[in-house]
Amino acid sequence: MYSLRSIAKTASSTTRLNTLNFARMSSTLTTVCIGFLKARSD
């Protein structure tokens, strides 16, 4: 049976990974959008 502490630790590390992945993905999307808008404005 899992202890509550290990569950909390696993959940927090998973949340941290998801947050990093989301930040990386959103910054990539922002870069793509900016490049697309610049290409259209030229």
Q: Tell me: pLDDT of 32 over 70.
A: yes
What pLDDT does 36 receive? 93
**2-37 in b/e burial notation, b at 16+ Cβ within 10 A?**
eeeeeeeeeeeeeeeeeeeeeeeeeeeeeeeeeeee
pLDDT band of 4, cuts 50, 70, 90:
confident
**17-29 confidence digits (pLDDT tens):** 999 999 999 999 9
Q: Tell me: pLDDT of 1 over 70.
A: no
Contacts 24+ apart (CB under 8 A), 9-13: none
Unique residue bearing structure tokens 């793509």: 32
Domain ranges of the chain: 1-42
Mean pLDDT of the chain: 90
